[in-house]
Every structure is written in structure tokens, then in C-alpha cells.
Structure 1
Amino acid sequence: METETAQNPESKPDQSVILEVSGQTAILRLGTPNERYVTITPRRMETFEQALDKIESNPSLQGLVIIGSGPGLFCNGADINQISGVTDVAIAKGLASRGQGLFQRVASLKCTTVAAVSGACVGGGYELALACDYRIAANISEVKVGLPEIKLGIIPGFGGSVRLPRLLGLPAALDIILKGRMLPAKRGLKAGLVDEVVEVEGSADKGYSALEAKACEIASGRHTPRRKPIAFGEKILTFTGIGRKMVANKALAQVHKTTGGHYPAPPRAVEVATKALSMNVVPALDMEAQALAELIVTPESKSLVHLFFLTDEAGKRWKSLQDEVSQAKAAVLGAGTMGAGIAASLLSSGVEVLLVDLDSKARERAEAHIEDSLGKRFKYEPDKAKSSLAKLSIEGTIDSINDVEIVIEAIVEKLDVKKRVFGQLASLLPDTAVLASNTSSLPISEIASDLSHPERVIGMHFFNPAEKMPLVEIVRSSVTDQRSIAFTAALASKLGKYPVVVEEVPGFLVNRILSPYLAEAAWALGDGYSITDIDKAAVRFGMPMGPLRLLDEVGLDVAAHVAEIMSSSYGSRMETPPFTAKLASLGRLGRKSGKGFYVYNGKEGTPDSELSQLLELPDHPTAGSPAELQDRLILSMVNEAVRCFDEGVAGTPCRESAGQIDLATVMGTGFAPFRGGIMHYAERVGARDILTRLERLEKQHGFRFTPAMGIKARAAGSGGSFYEPIEGSSTMQ
């Protein structure tokens, strides 16, 4: 066997590919064994090109296998750092064209080509696999196949938008591309993304060898996978002009419904994938490269890439405790909606759970909820749902809690009750056990004040519904120790959540930023704006739903309780109109009672036409345009977010803590992802513009819009960054 590392003399070994030739079969290993993951970099492309030169010059080759350099590896696609740094369309198109050219060379090889996938095969990695004749994958957890580029505000640009519709048919291809779906091996097989799945037995090395052996069988012509055919109806919709038009129109309508027109990439993806089917491959690739180049420089793409880096870093930050967390057992105290949701999240991630509640009916409801939740979570893996449920124990007394590494309390929001319960827990568990509270508003230091070891008490604030919401606030008091913080954050990461560590302040981080936004919606209603006007203003900005609809979802009784805490803590800038409390007193609690700002006869609800008369509100706004209404809502959040940053609520003011606020606002409030988070939005708008708009609102609507000192300071002189601290930031209000 001839083995050669194809690399430039000046390149690093970990940027290479390895070419091996044995008889009439060549094996191209992506990367080298010391790499944790493989990306497509300019240097790697150069070494790949050198390897292809050798393959193309060897007429005796019958087959080529492209495989990762070891178990759990294939190719993660393009280097995201490179994407973030491109600001010129011509440069972007050149990079895309180079990648396309490389993969087109693979597609044009006269020998049989096989992509053998034993790890992440996403983005450009899957586009490389698409250029091969066959794709096979090992049935291991590390395997993911798909095209997630849409989540970065771009489209597949190394041939994926051109080749996938030809492979799957246009409807199925658009479903993959527009959702940015990444599938495990067996679901990839069902979707047609891979042609065969290799079952793995024994060690990872044995599985890798079995995958390579199967790929070599295919490459040499000794075995041919059975590819999923395109159904007849799908062929009509894919390979006829009228069929493509029908599919494109339906897809564009759905895109507009789900994105509100805020994201340029999805409609462009529909356009490219549809048009490419009526073109030869070479001009279709040029069209794809141009579309990618134009999208990669948009503000939307830059914002989404910014979020990608934040989420990627959040997943890595607490890795040092992952081994300890992976063996941990947890108790959840309280079997209400939140407790059941938290327990389901733990179980779905493989954590053994003891759920405790004094109420037998609550325990029964929680068990049913958890079983249903796991069934949905593992819809395609019923055995995993069953094994996860088997890790659940349910008890009716707090004395049953022992031999766990962490307790997550999710009981009633009453300080005296929590203090008593935490005292009991402290007496039952060793000093090394972490005592966490899911409180959304109570001070952690007060909950822990009577304990001999308050340093192990921490806030672990999940958002409702706990199974779905991706953010967890890790709330530290002044005495919480680093080990408790790291353990709790690592556990949240294990659940697939994004932990954000915040200081113990009223409202913590998310509710503090969200509260003035919700309050301002109520003030605008009192000024005569309609429910529809207010909620549309927020949705037009990019929020997933309007603030009044959100209040109905949260519950107006819950919102009134939080508002009382916020106004008593932060004064008049957090006050809400008197009529908001009246709604709750009238039994209008939102969706759960059938009436709030909306009336819920169906799933969506309609604005309550009787509300203005009931609350004696004006019939029309006294002043203001739709743009001003949007500013009232959004800038109220920006103002508070800057205060939080300068006060160090998310950590010492710096680029990292600003990023944590961005992550928290997107994952916790739904702040428009295409704007990159609230600090990213403020940075793009600029301190001077924000100050001018806030001062105008202050003149019209009063002290609620008094600009934060940090905004004034950054607007002075040449204008400062919202990602950098300013002098005196720790005391600014």
C-alpha cells in the first residue's frame, strides 16, 4: 500500500489529507488522527487538490473512498471563522467557486466514489459527500448528516443547493435545506441523505474498520447500495416547470409565514434550488456561488454567525466537569409543571432522577407528563424513551432524597417555604451536594441564609416549558462557590441548554430586561394603541410574538407578581399601569383562563374587542407613529440591557459578558436572532442614535425612557462600544 500525506511544505500537519492507494482502490482520509474535528480551510483545500491530481493521473483506479481520519470523524464543513471575516462579495464568490471546483472534480472522476461517514458530515462536509456516487454512514451517535447553512444566514454554496434536489427531489431537498436539518444515520437513510447504514459492533476502531471495509466493497464494485428512489409524484414536482413552480410558491409562502421576511437566505435558497434544476451543473453552480457571496456579507448572516460562536462557546465552557456530571444523579423537588418539565429534560439526557412531591395527584400528573414528553422527544427511538423513563423514581416524602449530587427545587414561590425546605435538604445530604432553586424572583442569599453551608446554594432558573426553552440562568449569590457554579452550568450543558451565569439581582438578567418591554406594551395600550398595533410592532421588529400575547402566555397573575417585585426594586421606571392588576383581579389570567388581552375560543386567540371599554381606555393613540411604537418597546429593553452590562449582572463588563447578554436575550426572550442579540443590535445601531431616540421618547413619555448613563457615556466623544466597559461601569445606573 502506498501512503502519502498530501500537504503543502509550509502547511501544518493538522490541515492535511492523507491519500492511500492499494491496488485499484484509493482511500482519502480527511485530516490526521490528532484532529478533534475537520473543517474545510484554504490549506486543506490545497492539499485535497494535490491528492486529486494524483488520483486523476492514475487511470488504473476503479474506486475512491473518502473517509475521516479516525472513528467519530468526517468533515464539519467550512471554517466559520473564515465566513465571519468575509465582507467583500467578490472574495466570497471566489471562495465558494474554489470549493465548488474541488467538489466538481470529485463528481467528475471516472472511478466510483464513496463517502464513508463516521462523524459529523454537515455543511460543506455533506456537500463533499453529495459529490460522491454513494454515501454510507456508521450507525453511531457521532454521525450527523445535513445542511445547516440556513442557520448562518447563507445557503449551501459548495454544490449542495444544486445537487440535493437532483438526489432527493425538490420538495424533500427544500425541507432539508430550509430547516437546516441534521439527522442521525438511520434517519438520514430514511430521508435519502445516505444510501446505506453500517451497523457497528465492538470498539470504535472496529466500527471504523467495518465502515471502511464496506466502502471499499462499494468502490470496487463488489456491492451496490440500494438508493431510495424519488417517488413518481415527486419527479413531476421536480423535473417539470409547472411542478417546480408549485413547489417554489408553496415553499416561499411558508418561508414568509415563519420568518416574516426578516431573513434573506430562505427565499434565496428556494430560488437557487428551483432554478438549478432547469440548468446545466456548471452555470447552476455559478448561480449558487453568487447567491452565497451576496448572502454571506449581509447583516443578518453576520448576526447569526455571531450567535453561532456564542452557542458554540457555551457548549464548551464547562467541559471540565462533564465527566462528573455524566455520572450524577439528581432529585427534583416539586412535581408541578416546571418540576415535571425539568425531570423530563434530565431523563432525556440520561440523568437518573428522583421526583418528589407530597401531592399524590401531582405525582400522577407529572409521571404522565414525563412519559408523554419522552415519547415525543424520542419519537424515532422508542427503546430510548423506555430506557430513559426507567431512570425515573417518584416518591412522596422529602426524606426519600439521598445519594444525589444535586437537588433542583421547583416548589411554590414563597421565601419562607423555600427556606424551610432547604434546611431539610441540607440535613439530608452531604455538604458536597448542590442545592439549586428554580426560583424566578427570590434572592438566593435569602434562601440560603440559615444554612451552615450557603456556598452550595445556587439558582438554576429554567424557562417554561422546561423541555423546550434552551436557556438556563445560573444565579450565584455573593457566597456561592465556584464548584457549585461549574457543576450546575455543566449539568445545564448536558441537557442541551445554554447556561448563562448571572448575579443575584431582582429579576436576574432575562426578566429584568424583559420587564420594561412588557410594561411599555401596557402603557402603549393605555395611550390608545390597539392590541393588534402593539403586537404587530414587535413582530415586525422580529420578535416571535407580541408582548401582549406573551403576557397572556405567561399568565397575567404571574406577570403582575413579577411586576410588583420589579417596581419595588427598581422604582418608577419599572411601574406598570394600574389596569394591568385589574385584569388579574377580574380573573383574566390569559390563555389559561380563556381571556386576557386576547379571547381564546381557538388555538390562536383574537384581540378582545371589549377590553378598551372594560378598562376605560382611549379609542386611538394620542400621538406616535408605528416606528415610534416600535422604539418604545425595543429601546426600553436596550436601555435596561446596557444597565445590566455596566453593572456586571452577566459578569465583569467585557466582550464576553456582552455576548452572554446577547445569548440570554435570544434564547430566553426570543429577541430577533437575525439581529444577533440585544447588545449586538445596540452596537450596530450605535450609541449616538440610541441616545437621540431615547431622549425624544423621554420628552414625550417621561422618565421611563431616561437614557442609562452608559448610553450617554458611550455617545459622547467618538462613541464607545457596547462590548467594552467604560469608566465607572460597576456603579452606573
Structure 2
Amino acid sequence: MSSIRYEINPDAVIVLTLDAPGSAVNLMSEAFRHDLHEAVKRVQLDLKHRPELLGVIINSAKSSFFAGADLKAMLKIGPSQAASFFEQVQSLKADLRALEKLGKPVVAMIQGSALGGGLELALACHHRIAVNKAGIEIGFPEASLGLLPGAGGIVKTVRLKGLQAAVQVISESKRLSVQEALDMGWITQVVASDDALMPAALAALRSGACSQVWDDPKHRIPGGGPSQAAIASMLSVAPAMLVEKTRGNFPAQEAILAVAVEGAQVDFETALRIESRWLTRLATGQVAKNMIQSFFFHLNEIKADRSRPQGEAARMTMKLGVLGAGMMGSGIAWAAASRGLSVVLKDVSREKAEHGKAYSARILAKRVESGKMSPDKAQAILQRIQATDVMQDLSACDMVIEAVYEDQALKAKLIREALEVLGEAAVFASNTSTIPITELAKASSQPEQFIGIHFFSPVEKMPLVEIIRGKKTNDATLAKAYDFVKQIGKTPIVVNDARGFYTSRVFGTYVNEGMALLGEGVSAARIENIAMQFGMPVGPLAVLDEVSLKLADDVLHMRGAKPVSDEDIRDRLSMIQSIETLRCLQEQVLAHDHDANIGSIMGWGFPAYTGGTLQFVHHYGPQAFLARSLELQARYGERFSPPALLHQLAKG
């Protein structure tokens, strides 16, 4: 069955309906490319023999227009397939160019999101008409997956909007609204409803307009090409700014800049070949595979609730209690209230509770000032937070999160006091980052309804929440915690109870290794710089007290330093985190690969280009990783001893 339905309607229009069989979305799969090639040949033949035909309409039978590349297939492309992959891309571009050069108008009717290859298909149409409705996204997300738009997306966007705008919107993987896409030139016309699409498309066909700006010999790139003074000035600093931002670890951003600049200096067809070559380099490399695995497949596993107990009904939180109005408690209150929940924020005094509520007021004031939120909406959010010093005010809450400092006795006292006023069905959660949940649950008369919900600081910016299941936590409680985290727009991972859980435990090995290097006489600056070059957001010593660190560094320099290579420093700081992650999986602290990878990237900033601490083993190569671990073990100690799971991975 073809993924493209072909018909000639009563208005003398060829209609190509994109409808991949057995799939909720249309993808740029091998089957689709074949079907497109056959459809283009048939269109050419029909237009040749039936001059009365007005042209072509391309629409979609799915809720979206087109979802982009077949990423499962992309994972299988290796260096040995580079030549054939390049030819596939060039063949696709030839079919898209054939649509552009039919001599009759081609119209894309866009009723849903058009992303990646879907937008490139639309750009091959002379008229791109989209419905202006909420939720439609238009853009190129490829850079966020280590790739670039390789079917003309960069080359055409440069010619539509100019070098600077094209590089920015594509390298940042921006998804635009329909109106924003109209301004970019990706869309040529906006209509108010689905019903208005066909009349607008017929009008476009009857206009007879069937040329693209990049085929006009008089057309000039908006803002000028690389030889123009203003653009040349921007380009003179762009590579350095890019390296500063990516530390040279994200080849897609470098490739996008190269395609845009090189392609702007040559004819259109040559520019398309340049784009194909850069895409081939990225698609056959490891970074794209890492990012596709984690940011598409693993993130989708979380979105599909793979770590949530199956069979448990959805349990939304209606009213949240937060114990402790410090930095974490205030942030949690904001996160919940901004998503529509009623919040009771309690501290030992009304003054401290109000101070915590003021945290949300400051965030809201900035949003109102910047025009991102109306004063009425800001006020409505703030009114959802009740500041109090009375424990009884928590009585109507169906979930309570304690967010006081790490004192087990204090937490136990608050747990007992809160449970005296809470209903029997309420869930109690701790925001602890270090104390075992099973230990804290001993203070509860309902340990099966006790769970860990570990937020990261600052709460309003950090997307991850680590949910910790205690030994007695039941499925219903875990499901409610999971639903709550998604309810407030965060990304949940689920771990089993153990000292340090997952994120604190693994991040701790990174900090400890930094201290070990310092103890061996390696300078603090060198340790921090190599960690940052690897891609960590902060060095391992940055979290330590600056004064004590300076004293330690001075003493060590007086003693003299041991020779440790940059390679050893980098591998010790990076691999220790992956080794500890493998131990967490082996000990069943973690149950799923997706929780490991997404948790490491979103939780403490393990470099995204690696795909996460577990995917980094595959990035390095399991056999090579094992061999290197054994070297580090022999040289630096048993903490680098390869877990049994690593031996299994190395065996394939």
C-alpha cells in the first residue's frame, strides 16, 4: 500500500494525500521516498498529456502534516553507508526539485505541524497555506538531535530570510507558530480554518504562479551574502562564539553555519550538494545517534509513561501542601501554582511563609514586565498560593511535599505532625536528596503512601524531577507522584530507594573524582577546564566552598604535582559517572535505560552530545570503555572496577 494517495479531483487538480499506512504520522521513510518518486513521475506524465490540469495539491490524512525523518532508520546508518546515504538524499532533492519545476503550481495544504523533512517537502511547493490554530508547530528540530535539515531546508531558508536569521532559527531548533513561520517565509498564506484551506488552494492554483525565489536570477539573499560588510563582520566572530557555546562538542551547529555560509556563495544546485555532504557527515557520526537515542526515543519512553505503574488510574493532584518556604519549597510552590494547582505553603512563621510566596511574586513581576504574561493572569497564579504557619491548613491537601533542610529528625517530626491533619488518602512526599526514603517513611503511619519527589534547583528552570520509591511505597502512590510531576510540566524519572538515589549518587562520584585529582596535585583550574571542555556545565570543584578550595590548592602546589595527563583527567571525570550509572542499573536502583540517560542530562548536566551516562558507554564503544576502565582501575584504584553489566555490554 502506498503512503501517497493519488487522485485527480473534479476541479482538475492532482491531489497527493500523504497517508503512511499503519502509522499515526507521516515520516520520511524509505517507503515514502519511493512513493514520492513514483508520484512525481506520474504527475509529470499527467501534466504532459492533460494540459487542462491546474496543478498539484499536497495534503495530509494525519492530524499533522508531516513529522520528519524516520529516526529508527537513521540510527542504523554508519560510515560504510555514507556514499549510498548521500545518493539517497540527492535523489530525494531531485524529486523535490522536479515538483518545483513542473511548470504548474504546487500547493501544500498544511492543517497540522510540519517539521523537519515535512517542512522541506512543503518548501518544494510554490504555495504553502497553513491554518492558523494553536498547537501547530513549523520548524526544523534536527539540530536538537545532532542533525541538520538536509533536503534543502538550510539553503532555502537562507534565500528566504537571510544568513543570520536562518542560522539562528535552525541551529536553535526553534519550532514556530504559523504566524511566525509566515514571517520566516516558510508559509506563504494563512487561513482561519480547515474549511478555508481548499478554497485558498484552488485560488493559488488558478493564479498560475509557479516559481520559487531561489530560481529567480535577480533574487538576492536578504541582508546580503558573506561578502557584504555587515555579514562579513558577523561571520568573523561567529565561529569563535559557537565554540564558546558548544565547546566544539556539537558538530551539527558547526555544520549548519558551514552550509549556510558556503551555500550562500555558490549557485543553488551546488549549495544543495554542500548541504547533502554535511548531512551525510552528521548522520554517519556517533553524536547524532547519541542524541536521537536519548532526546527522541528515551524521552518518548518517559512521555509514554513507561516507568509509571501500569493499570493504575490517572490521579491528578488538586491541592498541594508544601512544608518549608525556603528556596526549594518556594520553587515547588511556584511550579505547582503556575500550572493551576492550589498550594498551601507552610513555614514556622507567617512571615517566612509570605517571604516564600514573594518568590513567586518576583517571577511573575518579571514576566509581566517583559510582556510574557498579563497582570490578571499573574495575580490569579499568586492567589493560588496560601502562605500559612498553621499545620491544620494542610487538611484538604491530597499531596504534601516537605522541603526543609536535610535533618532527619526534623523531617520525621514534620511527617508525624502533618499526618495528624491529612486525610487517609493523602500522599506524603519528601524532597530529600540524600536521606533514604525508606528510613524517612518509618515516621509515617502510612509508609505505603510515602514517596520521594526530588526537585532540582532552581525549580523554575530545572526540567527534571527524580521520583524515589521506598521499599513500602505502593503502586497507587507512585502513579500519583508520576502524574503530579507531569501535571506541573516537569520530566519524571523513577528510581528505587538507596543512599543518594541516582542523581546525587552519580554526581557525587564526579565531585569526589575532582577532589581526588586535586589531592594528587593537579591544579584546580586544570581540573575545571578539562571538565568544561568535556561538556559538563560546571567543574567538579565549583560546588565546593571557595575559601577551603583555595587553601587546599595552595598547599598542594607547595607539595608539587604528580603528572596526570589531560586524557586521564577527562576520562576519570567522565567515565566514573558512567561506571556508577552501570552499578545503579546492576543494583536495580534504576530499572530503565531511559531514566539513566535523561536523568543524567537533565538532572546534573551530563553532556547532551553523549546521550547521557549510559549512552556514553556506546559512544565510547563498550569494548573500548571496558579496556579503558581496567586501565584506570590499575592506575587509580578500585572505584574504576568495571561492573558485571559492563562486561556483558562489551560481549555484545
What's the TM-score once normalised by structure 2's chain length?
0.87
2:105–2:208 CA contact under 8 A, matched in 1: no
Which residue number in structure 1 is paired with residue 216 of structure 2? none
Q: 1:73, CA displacement in angstroms?
A: 1.4
The CA distance in 2 between the partners of 1:709 and 1:82, in whole Å, is 31
Structure 1 stretch displaced more, 80-89 or 628-637: 628-637
CA shift digits 1:398-457 (9 cap, x unpaired): 322244443332223222222232334334343333222211112212222243321121
Q: Secondary structure at the match of 1:238?
A: coil
Which residue number in structure 1 is paired with residue 346 of structure 2? 356
Q: 1:509, CA displacement in angstroms?
A: 0.5
Which residue number in structure 2 is paired with residue 583 of structure 1? none
Matched, 1:418 2:411: yes
Which residue number in structure 2 is paired with residue 370 of structure 1? 360
The CA distance in 2 between the partners of 1:270 and 1:144, in whole Å, is 23
Matched, 1:282 2:266: no
Question: What is the 5 A alignment of 1:255-274?
Answer: 255-274=242-261
The verdict on how the C-alpha distance between 1:423 and 1:107 changes in structure 2, with shifts beyond 3 A counting, is farther
Which residue number in structure 1 is paired with residue 195 of structure 2? 209
Which residue number in structure 2 is paired with residue 311 of structure 1? 299
Which residue number in structure 2 is paired with residue 392 of structure 1? 384
Which residue number in structure 2 is paired with residue 85 of structure 1? 76
Q: 1:684, CA displacement in angstroms?
A: 4.3
* One of 644, 653, 660 as aligned partner of 2:584: 644
The CA distance in 2 between the partners of 1:372 and 1:68, in whole Å, is 45
The verdict on how the C-alpha distance between 1:637 and 1:268 changes in structure 2, with shifts beyond 3 A counting, is same
1:248–1:270 CA contact under 8 A, matched in 2: no
Question: What is the 5 A alignment of 1:135-214?
Answer: 135-199=128-192, 207-214=193-200
Structure 1 stretch displaced more, 418-427 or 681-690: 681-690
The CA distance in 2 between the partners of 1:223 and 1:356, in whole Å, is 66
Q: 1:125, CA displacement in angstroms?
A: 1.3
The verdict on how the C-alpha distance between 1:437 and 1:217 changes in structure 2, with shifts beyond 3 A counting, is farther
The verdict on how the C-alpha distance between 1:710 and 1:353 changes in structure 2, with shifts beyond 3 A counting, is same
Q: Secondary structure at the match of 1:66?
A: strand
2:630–2:642 CA contact under 8 A, matched in 1: no
Which residue number in structure 2 is paired with residue 238 of structure 1? 225
Structure 1 stretch displaced more, 519-528 or 16-25: 16-25
The verdict on how the C-alpha distance between 1:414 and 1:242 changes in structure 2, with shifts beyond 3 A counting, is same
The verdict on how the C-alpha distance between 1:476 and 1:143 changes in structure 2, with shifts beyond 3 A counting, is same
Which residue number in structure 2 is paired with residue 710 of structure 1? 644
* One of 59, 65, 71 as aligned partner of 1:74: 65
Structure 1 stretch displaced more, 273-282 or 679-688: 679-688
The CA distance in 2 between the partners of 1:369 and 1:54, in whole Å, is 63
Q: Secondary structure at the match of 1:461?
A: strand
The CA distance in 2 between the partners of 1:53 and 1:366, in whole Å, is 66
The verdict on how the C-alpha distance between 1:689 and 1:399 changes in structure 2, with shifts beyond 3 A counting, is same
The verdict on how the C-alpha distance between 1:233 and 1:438 changes in structure 2, with shifts beyond 3 A counting, is farther
1:348–1:374 CA contact under 8 A, matched in 2: no
CA shift digits 1:311-331 (9 cap, x unpaired): 121111269899945674433
Q: Secondary structure at the match of 2:130?
A: strand
The CA distance in 1 between the partners of 2:526 and 2:114, in whole Å, is 45
Structure 2 gap segments, 5+ residues each: 214-218
The CA distance in 2 between the partners of 1:345 and 1:217, in whole Å, is 48
* One of 309, 313, 330 as aligned partner of 1:340: 330
1:454–1:479 CA contact under 8 A, matched in 2: yes
Identity score, percent: 28
Which residue number in structure 2 is paired with residue 331 of structure 1? 321
Q: 1:391, CA displacement in angstroms?
A: 6.6
Matched, 1:60 2:44: no
The verdict on how the C-alpha distance between 1:208 and 1:671 changes in structure 2, with shifts beyond 3 A counting, is same
* One of 430, 444, 447 as aligned partner of 2:440: 447
Q: 1:466, CA displacement in angstroms?
A: 1.5
Question: What is the 5 A alignment of 1:500-579?
Answer: 500-549=493-542, 551=543, 556=544
The CA distance in 2 between the partners of 1:364 and 1:33, in whole Å, is 57
Amino acid at match of 2:575: L
Matched, 1:622 2:568: no
Q: Secondary structure at the match of 2:614?
A: helix
The verdict on how the C-alpha distance between 1:367 and 1:234 changes in structure 2, with shifts beyond 3 A counting, is farther
Which residue number in structure 2 is paired with residue 560 of structure 1? none
The CA distance in 2 between the partners of 1:195 and 1:355, in whole Å, is 50
Q: 1:285, CA displacement in angstroms?
A: 1.5
2:601–2:607 CA contact under 8 A, matched in 1: yes
Amino acid at match of 1:367: K
Structure 1 stretch displaced more, 131-140 or 297-306: 131-140
CA shift digits 1:519-571 (9 cap, x unpaired): 1212222322222100112122222221112x1xxxx4xxxxxxxxxxxxxxx
Q: 1:710, CA displacement in angstroms?
A: 2.2
Matched, 1:298 2:233: no
1:326–1:351 CA contact under 8 A, matched in 2: no
The CA distance in 2 between the partners of 1:478 and 1:110, in whole Å, is 70
Question: What is the 5 A alignment of 1:14-25?
Answer: 15-17=3-5, 19=7, 21-25=9-13
The CA distance in 1 between the partners of 2:398 and 2:189, in whole Å, is 42
Amino acid at match of 1:144: E
Q: Secondary structure at the match of 2:460?
A: coil
The verdict on how the C-alpha distance between 1:272 and 1:690 changes in structure 2, with shifts beyond 3 A counting, is closer
The CA distance in 1 between the partners of 2:82 and 2:594, in whole Å, is 27
Matched, 1:44 2:32: yes
2:453–2:467 CA contact under 8 A, matched in 1: yes
Q: 1:649, CA displacement in angstroms?
A: 0.8
1:463–1:469 CA contact under 8 A, matched in 2: yes
Amino acid at match of 2:144: K
1:62–1:219 CA contact under 8 A, matched in 2: yes
CA shift digits 1:225-265 (9 cap, x unpaired): xx9xxxx9983433745555444333322211111112222
The CA distance in 2 between the partners of 1:687 and 1:85, in whole Å, is 17
* One of 446, 458, 461 as aligned partner of 2:454: 461
The CA distance in 2 between the partners of 1:337 and 1:187, in whole Å, is 37
Matched, 1:633 2:626: no
2:321–2:343 CA contact under 8 A, matched in 1: yes
The CA distance in 2 between the partners of 1:338 and 1:446, in whole Å, is 21
Q: 1:619, CA displacement in angstroms?
A: 5.8
1:135–1:195 CA contact under 8 A, matched in 2: yes
The CA distance in 2 between the partners of 1:163 and 1:525, in whole Å, is 51
The CA distance in 1 between the partners of 2:162 and 2:325, in whole Å, is 47
The verdict on how the C-alpha distance between 1:692 and 1:313 changes in structure 2, with shifts beyond 3 A counting, is closer
The verdict on how the C-alpha distance between 1:431 and 1:516 changes in structure 2, with shifts beyond 3 A counting, is same
Amino acid at match of 1:392: R
Q: Secondary structure at the match of 1:235?
A: coil
The CA distance in 2 between the partners of 1:29 and 1:369, in whole Å, is 52
Amino acid at match of 2:539: G
The CA distance in 2 between the partners of 1:371 and 1:135, in whole Å, is 43
The CA distance in 2 between the partners of 1:211 and 1:372, in whole Å, is 44
1:18–1:28 CA contact under 8 A, matched in 2: yes
The CA distance in 2 between the partners of 1:215 and 1:342, in whole Å, is 49
Which residue number in structure 2 is paired with residue 672 of structure 1? 607
The CA distance in 2 between the partners of 1:126 and 1:178, in whole Å, is 15
Q: 1:463, CA displacement in angstroms?
A: 1.0
Q: 1:195, CA displacement in angstroms?
A: 4.2
Amino acid at match of 1:394: Q
The verdict on how the C-alpha distance between 1:289 and 1:708 changes in structure 2, with shifts beyond 3 A counting, is closer
The verdict on how the C-alpha distance between 1:542 and 1:239 changes in structure 2, with shifts beyond 3 A counting, is closer
Q: Secondary structure at the match of 1:505?
A: coil
The verdict on how the C-alpha distance between 1:686 and 1:172 changes in structure 2, with shifts beyond 3 A counting, is closer
2:116–2:139 CA contact under 8 A, matched in 1: yes
Q: Secondary structure at the match of 1:544?
A: coil
The verdict on how the C-alpha distance between 1:321 and 1:109 changes in structure 2, with shifts beyond 3 A counting, is farther
2:65–2:111 CA contact under 8 A, matched in 1: yes
